[in-house]
Structure formats: C-alpha cells, structure tokens
Copies of this chain bind each other. A is one copy, B any other.
Amino acid sequence: MHDQAQVVVALSGGMDSCVCAALAVRDFGANATAALHISYGQRTERRELAAFQAICDRLQIGQRLAVRTPFFHAIGGSALTDDKISIPDAGPQIGLHIPVTYVPFRNAHFLSAAVSWAEVLGAARIYIGAVQQDSSGYPDCRPEFYQAFNEVIRRGTKEGRIRVETPLIALRKAQIVTLGLELDAPFDLTWSCYGAEDRACGMCESCVLRRQAFATAGAVDPISYASPTVTQFRD
C-alpha cells in the first residue's frame, strides 16, 4: 500500500525530470510521491515512456499515471510532433531564439494534468524539472510562467492549496548533473534525444545540452551516442 501522496512529480524521463523525481523522493519519500508521465505524440514517446517506468522502478515510486494527449499531432506546429518538420542539429544559436522544437504551450498541459491528479490524490505539491538557463529558450520554462500558473491553481481548484515548485529552474545544467550524482539519480535510465529511440543522436539540441552539462560537470554520461564528439557551443 502507498501512503497518501504528498507530491506529484512530472517525469518525462529526461535527465532534468529524473533529478526532480529523485528530489521529490528525498523530500517526501517514495511512498508519498506520485509520478506523472505524458505522451503527447512526440517522436520518441515510446522510449520516453519506457524511461519513465524504469526510473520509477529504480526510485521505488509505486503511484504512477501515464496519460496521453494525442491531439498535439493534429495541432502541429512543432518538430517534435509533426513529421513534416525536421529535428535540427544544435547550433551556436541555442537558447537565443525559440526553436522549431517548441511544442505550443505544452507545459501548461502537463501542469493541468498534474493539478487534476493532485486534487484527487490530495497532494499539495507538484514538482516539475523545468530549467531556464542552458535550455532551448522555451517560454513555458520561465519562472514567471510557473508563478502565474500557481495563481491559476489558487483560483481555479476546490481548495486552492496546491503549489507548483520548480526546484531546478535556476540551476545551470552542469549543476543539475552534480545534484543528480549526489542524489544517486538513475541517469543511466534517462532518455533525452529528440529524434532517435534506439541510440541517442548526440547532435540535436537536447543531446548537445546534455553532453555539454556532463562535460562541464566533469562527469561521465552513462548513455552512449551515435555521434562521438561533443560540440561546445557556449560555456
């Protein structure tokens, strides 16, 4: 049996959300942690779902919910959900503009599902591993977005007491690697690549940001890449 959930953690299966889940378990215990995964029609959804389950297993999180929002395909407008738009390789412009991998307003859907579930579970906290710096510059990864969303929760739920927390948002990506190593977060089970499901490409923005982070932290990334070299576009 589980304890009553105290926290819902959004767990995509990438390195940031994996560290965020490990933080939730540290702060509330695995029995009081509930993990939410959303398949939104992205290219690598099967691989990410497998990462979600494996990370939950390792962290001993029993309360899990994997949901689908299949309509992003129909809405389109993003390289992650529309096969007609290619995944670009990372370039020196990382983070300076909003790239074609932006999925319109995606994180609002994740938060909404987390709030709905938290309200039924009676959990008062939501953890989400959004990162502002060393990210692709997505608008729904800004602290102001989460602050504003907390006001929506306060006004639009039964008791108004659920609060979203973004424990990683101010960290550099290399600091997240270091924190994850301290927490024994299962990086070996994570999946970050935007395009491939068998072996990470190593060239897309998500792979490059990850590889730079491990290199800067002086740590070894436990997964392997199809492209052997790490491109350093900025420090």
Residue contact B108 to A115, C-beta cutoff 8 Å: yes
Q: Which of B105, B139, B157 contacts A104 (CB 8 A)?
A: B157
* Residues of chain B contacted by A112 (CB below 8 angstroms): 105, 108-109, 112
Task: Tell me whether A226 is interfacial, beta carbon within 8 Å.
Answer: no
Closest B residue to A110 using CB positions: B112
Residue contact B148 to A77, C-beta cutoff 8 Å: no
Residue contact A152 to B155, C-beta cutoff 8 Å: no
Closest B residue to A154 using CB positions: B148
* Residues of chain B contacted by A156 (CB below 8 angstroms): 105, 107-108, 139-140, 142, 145, 148-149
Q: How far is the CA of A77 from the CA of B109 in the complex (A)?
A: 19
The 0/1 profile, CB within 8 Å of B marked 1, for residues 130-146 of chain A is 00000000011010110
Q: How far is the CA of A105 from the CA of B75 in the complex (A)?
A: 22
Residue contact A116 to B72, C-beta cutoff 8 Å: yes
Closest B residue to A73 using CB positions: B67
